[in-house]
Every structure is written in C-alpha cells, then in structure tokens.
Amino acid sequence: MPRIAIEYCTQCRWLLRASWMAQELLTTFGTDIGEVALIPGEGGVFRITVDGDQVWERKTDGGFPEIVVLKQRVRDRIAPARDLGHSDRGHTSKTETSDS
C-alpha cells in the first residue's frame, strides 16, 4: 500500500495546512493508501511524497498545491485509471498549477 508523507515547517506553523491536506487525501483515497505521515521539519519546507517520490515541493513548484492538483498528482502515482469525479472536471491538465 502506498505511503504518503507530508513534511511541513514547524517554524512556519504549517501543521494545520499539512493535516488538512492529509485529511483530504485520506477521504478521497480511503483504503487505496496505507498511510499518510506528517513529518515536522524546518526552514520553510513543505514537501509531499508518495513512496519516496516527490509529488510537490513548495519552493520548486511555487507555493502550496491546490487540493485538486495534489489529488491528481497522487492519483497519477497510485491509481492512474481512477476517476476523481468533480476534481477532474474543468481542469485541462492533471498536473496543472496555479501559474497557468
């Protein structure tokens, strides 16, 4: 079962954001994932990985992910054929970012 890790900056007080994203992923994917881990970090880190493969990094990807984009990136890693319903509709790309 896939393991999702959300590393967040404790100095920046991003625990609530990280836990909300964890909740959204658990609600969407349910038993298709084995674990969502919250990992405290420092220095402005906000990184999300699936089985060690990075799917989002705040500094590289330009901020925080929209939840729809995050769900699409996670889905693309763990269940590419899965339909996300309304999360897939109205978005031109599965990895669309807010700067497009």
Provide block-wise average pLDDT over 10 residues at a time, the chain (100 residues).
98 98 96 97 98 98 96 94 75 45
Joined tokens for residue 97: 């970012």
* H helix or E strand, kind and range, residue 46: strand 46-50
Q: What is the largest CA-CA distance in the chain?
A: 38
Reported pTM: 0.85
Question: In the chain, which ranges are continuous DSSP H helix?
Answer: 15-29, 58-61, 67-78
